[in-house]
Structure 1
């Protein structure tokens, strides 16, 4: 069961060199942009010697634009681990992922459920995953018809993505490329709010669940059991709350 973020002690806080955070529901409250409180928290982390990176289901262009606005120096992982850059303005990394499985799965679902599956407009900006909405068909029913593809439910949208691709796996691969490979998983703190963040919580020991009241009760219990710490406040206020505690503990 996740402990309060207040249990993050000075020794652990001083060890953290990289914060990787989800965006929707973690930095934002369902809107496109973080609040001024979150922007200030990110700025203070960077100025305090902690790199900040983004790991999200958003498109790479949208995520890179947000990263630039926030002034962060850490990695950018988009499409739930499908694509990544080491920092704003860098070349796209070749992760070896393919969009073919997701496109084939989309075609299959549209054939089986022609009136239920609706593509989202930003699919044209995506390189690996495909995002859809399902009207009137349960997610578990859709999953029964998929083999080589994961169907991820972020609470906002459904993502079809090649099996084996996740936020956690991609971040783990990137660690060997950051600071000449001197970062270990124990130097990283990850933040998330939904089932798409579970791989981060499982693979990185210092994980923070940001409270999201819109997540279903059954998933909230799963997330509480896999994350190490939890915020008290919801959404971006929760992220800022934990970031402030982390910075204070680093100075103690």
Structure 2
């Protein structure tokens, strides 16, 4: 059965290590669009960190959609209308903020408007994230967060510190939230209903596309959920071993236009 929807991760997948879109990837996506295939960016980034890529790839036009916050937000890419929005409560924030202090790791919360941290000494990975996704950083005490619509919380720290913290997160948090590691220094925490996989299921259903007609391309653990639900899971050559085990196909690396290779081999061929 032909592929009608392709979900594409950004970091380590769509873009090169120096954050560029190769001409081969650009052309393959344009050819897929011209063939009537829905190409959907599916990323852990918030929407401001995606807008320039959507513009570069002509994926912000009528009929285009985008999945951000690891599935916490699905939007019409042309109008910005929310299709799916799953947020965390203030009680969730307080519980996770307390846990981060207990584990002695940096943490920040992200809304559609910005990144909020209660750490006076702002962690370098919070600054890195803000730069990467083009969002402002705000210092706010936990008491000042009650009115914020939080889509995602991240624990961020040096990999060895973060790994030690992860080992000590109580099981009850895994039972209550979706928790995924997206980079060696990023642990992302969202509402239990949130995943890239659930977002793709919802979007495909809205568009009248069966899961057999879907493909996902990714490289990291936060791509696992979408790779598990699509008909054709594709993992980058540079992907982590745990998600490579889920792949129907292994494509070339992100630095070698792997997304273009996947589209041409298994969508347009």
**Secondary structure at 1:150 match in 2:** strand
Instruction: Name which of 149, 152, 157 aligns with 1:129.
Output: 152
**Which 5+ residue runs of structure 1 have no aligned equivalent?**
1-11
**Who is 1:152 aligned against?**
180
**Secondary structure at 1:90 match in 2:** coil
Distance, in Å, in 1 between the alignment partners of 2:189 and 2:168 is 11
Distance, in Å, in 1 between the alignment partners of 2:179 and 2:259 is 27
**Who is 2:73 aligned against?**
83
Deviations 1:177-233 (A, max 9, x none): 22xxx21111111111111111111111211111226x3xxxx1x2122222111x2
**Which 5+ residue runs of structure 2 have no aligned equivalent?**
109-125, 138-148
Distance, in Å, in 2 between the alignment partners of 1:151 and 1:124 is 24
TM-score (norm 1): 0.78
Q: Which has the higher contact order (CA 8 A, sep 6+)?
A: 1
**Who is 1:7 aligned against?**
none
Instruction: Name which of 44, 51, 72 aligns with 1:64.
Output: 51
Aligned-pair distance for 1:155? 1.9
Instruction: Name which of 143, 151, 166 aligns with 2:195.
Output: 166
**Who is 2:253 aligned against?**
234
Query: 1:1-252 to 2 correspondence within 5 Å?
Result: 12=1, 15-72=2-59, 73-100=63-90, 103-114=93-104, 116-119=105-108, 120-121=126-127, 122=130, 127-135=150-158, 136-138=161-163, 139-144=165-170, 147=173, 148-155=176-183, 157-178=186-207, 182-212=208-238, 215=240, 220=241, 222-231=242-251, 233-235=252-254, 237-246=257-266, 248-249=268-269
Distance, in Å, in 1 between the alignment partners of 2:243 and 2:84 is 30
Aligned-pair distance for 1:175? 1.8
Aligned-pair distance for 1:97? 3.4
Aligned-pair distance for 1:22? 0.7
How many residues matched? 225
Residue range with higher mean Cα deviation, 144-153 or 166-175: 144-153
Aligned-pair distance for 1:31? 3.8
Distance, in Å, in 2 between the alignment partners of 1:160 and 1:151 is 5
Distance, in Å, in 1 between the alignment partners of 2:238 and 2:47 is 24
Q: Is the 8 A contact 1:99 1:129 kept in 2?
A: no
Give the CA RMSD over aligned residues.
Answer: 2.5
Q: Is the 8 A contact 2:86 2:193 kept in 1?
A: no
**Who is 2:121 aligned against?**
none
Aligned-pair distance for 1:52? 0.7
Task: Label 1:188 to 1:124 Cα distance change in 2 as closer, same or farther (>3 A).
Answer: same
**Secondary structure at 1:176 match in 2:** helix
**Secondary structure at 2:94 match in 1:** helix
Aligned-pair distance for 1:94? 4.3
